[in-house]
Structure 1
Amino acid sequence: MVVKIIETIGSSPDGWEAALKNAVDEASELPIFKSKGKVKNINVKSFDVEVEDNQVSRFLTRIEILLE
C-alpha cells in the first residue's frame, strides 16, 4: 500500500477544533488530495497559540493527513 502524507498547519481565532478544520479544508484543495483523496488517518502533531498583548489571539494546529 502506498500512502501519501500531507503536513499542514491550520489556524483560527476560535479554537483548536476550528484550526484543525481549517487545515483539512485547505489541504483538500490541493491537487494531490483530489487525486488520492481517501483519508486514512489524521495525526495531530502539535497545538500552539499566537499571543498578542499577553492574550491568545490565534490557535494553531499542525497535522499530518495520510491519504491512500
Structure 2
Amino acid sequence: RVFVCPEPTCLHHNPSHALGDLVGIKKHFRRKHSSNKQWTCEKCSKAYAVQSDYKAHIKTCGTRGHTCD
C-alpha cells in the first residue's frame, strides 16, 4: 500500500512518488504544507512542525562548528 500527499500540487500527490507509510506522509505534510510550527528553538528561533525534527535540531544548534540555516 502506498500513501499520497493530499495536496494536489505536491510531487508526492502522484502515486509514482508516494510514500510507503502513513506516518511518513503525515510528517511530509506537516513539514511542507503546514504553517503550524509549534516547536521553536530558544537559541536561534528556528521553528518546526515535526517534533522529531526539532529534537534533532536542538542537539546541534549552537555547538561549535555548526551554523543554523
TM-score bucket of the superposed structures, by smaller chain: under 0.3
Between structures 1 and 2, the one with greater helix share:
2
Which structure's relative contact order is higher, taking Cα pairs within 8 Å and 6+ residues apart?
1
Instruction: Please give the TM-score of this superposition, normalised by the length of structure 1.
Output: 0.23
Q: Work out which of the two has the higher radius of gyration on C-alpha atoms and give 1 or 2.
A: 2
Between structures 1 and 2, the one with greater strand share:
1
Instruction: Please give the TM-score of this superposition, normalised by the length of structure 2.
Output: 0.23
